[in-house]
Amino acid sequence: MTINIILLGPPGAGKGTQARKLVEERGMVQLSTGDMLRAAKDSGTEMGNKVAEVMARGELVTDEIVIGLIREKLAEGGKGFIFDGFPRTLGQADALGELLNETGQVLDAVIEMRVDDEALVRRITGRFTCGNCGEVYHDETKPTAKPGVCDVCGSTDLKRRADDNEESLRTRLLEYYKKTSPLIGYYYAKGNLTPVNGLAEIDEVSRQIAEALG
Ligand code: AP5
């Protein structure tokens, strides 16, 4: 069965962590606009440089750019999509609805990951990722088994993100509450919102998501 879902939640809610588990367990395709934009940033193009500045400040990139990225990926098809970090504005949500219609697909569920702000600060400031395979770690809650070495691929290229500092996080949270949190009401009204407790342990959050997806 092919299903398309959105993981909705503030920075650090655990969207990327859960998306990677869904990819592994269900063979779904993760569409993370954050990862796509970081790849554009690394391309060194003029657009990439502009995107890098906006992201480092913690502000949102324009709807036009991110909708364009998603449009390309949807056209490639796949065994169910996980929208991770998209949509982030009402304009992006409307555009996603239209894109899914055009490609004859439906949105099956929107998982709202609820986490309080204090936990978000701890999660973001302790996060690091593998630059080779993308596995996500945390200094306290998910350290690597061997210091400095990725558990999954053995790489020693472990990185921290440029926007994972307290100042950028404040802006990211403001952007979330101003522009993204209205999507909770938007999808509730459409009848496909399911909240999960994002404060629970990683495996328990996965269990709640699996229950919501049936
Ligand atoms: P993006 O990359 O999407 O970042 P984000 O939304 O800020 O989300 P994060 O990746 O920070 O957090 P997450 O929820 O994935 O948490 P994670 O699983 O890593 O966006 C970055 C920037 O790109 C934006 O600011 C914007 O500039 C731009 N952008 C992206 N999409 C855009 C769009 N659609 N429109 C416009 N601009 C866009 O977990 C965090 C940490 O917590 C990890 O260390 C993890 O190990 C740990 N953790 C996870 N779950 C648990 C748990 N249950 N218990 C304990 N620890 C946990």
Q: What is the pLDDT of residues 140-187, one digit of tens each?
A: 999 999 999 999 999 999 999 989 998 999 999 999 999 999 999 999
The encoded tokens of residue 140 equal: 């306290």
Give the pLDDT of residue 106.
93
Catalytic residue (choose from 20, 41, 88, 123):
88
Cβ-contact 12, 116 below 8 angstroms: no
Whole-number Å distance, alpha carbon 11 to ligand 1 midpoint, is 4
For residue range 94-137, what is the model confidence (pLDDT) as tens digits? 999 999 999 889 999 999 999 999 999 999 999 999 999 999 99
Select from 172, 134, 104 the least CA-distant residue to 35.
134
Q: Report d(CA 163, CA 124) in Å as an integer.
A: 9
Residues contacting residue 206 through CB under 8 Å, at least 6 positions apart: 18, 21
Cis peptide before 182 (omega within 30 of 0): no
Q: Is the CB of 179 under 6 A from ligand 1?
A: no
Q: Which residues contact 183 (CB under 8 A, 6 or more apart)?
A: 8, 87, 88, 89, 90, 93, 110
pLDDT of residue 209 exceeding 80, the answer is yes
pLDDT of 77 higher than 80: no
Q: Is 137 in the pocket of ligand 1 (CB under 6 A)?
A: yes
Active site includes 88? yes
Active site residue 26: no
What is the per-residue pLDDT across 187-204, written as a single tens digit (0 to 9) for each? 999 999 999 999 999 999
Instruction: Note the residue count of the chain.
Output: 214
Q: At what angle do helices 46-57 and 33-42 cross, to 10 degrees?
A: 130
CA torsion through residues 9, 65, 43, 23, sign: positive
Q: Ligand 1 pocket, 172 CB below 6 A?
A: yes
10 lines ligand 1 (CB under 6 A): no
Q: What is the pLDDT of residue 64?
A: 95
Which residue of the set 15, 20, 21, 123 is catalytic? Answer: 15
- Closest among 2, 81, 1, 55 to 165, alpha carbons compared: 55
Question: Which residues are 128's β-sheet partners?
Answer: 137
pLDDT in tens, 48-69: 889 999 999 999 999 999 999 9
Question: Annotated catalytic residue: which of 26, 57, 161, 179?
Answer: 161
Cα separation, 139 vs 124, in Å, equals 10
Residues 157 and 135: beta-carbon distance below 8 Å? no
Contact yes or no for 158/127 (Cβ under 8 A): no
Tokens standing for 167? 């100042």
- The pLDDT of residue 75 is 85
> Considering Cα of 73, then 19, then 115, then 100, what sign does the dihedral take?
positive
Choose which residue among 18, 118, 141 to substitute to test ligand 1 binding: the one with the highest number of ligand atoms within 8 A of its C-beta. 141
Neighbours of 76 (CB within 10 A): 7
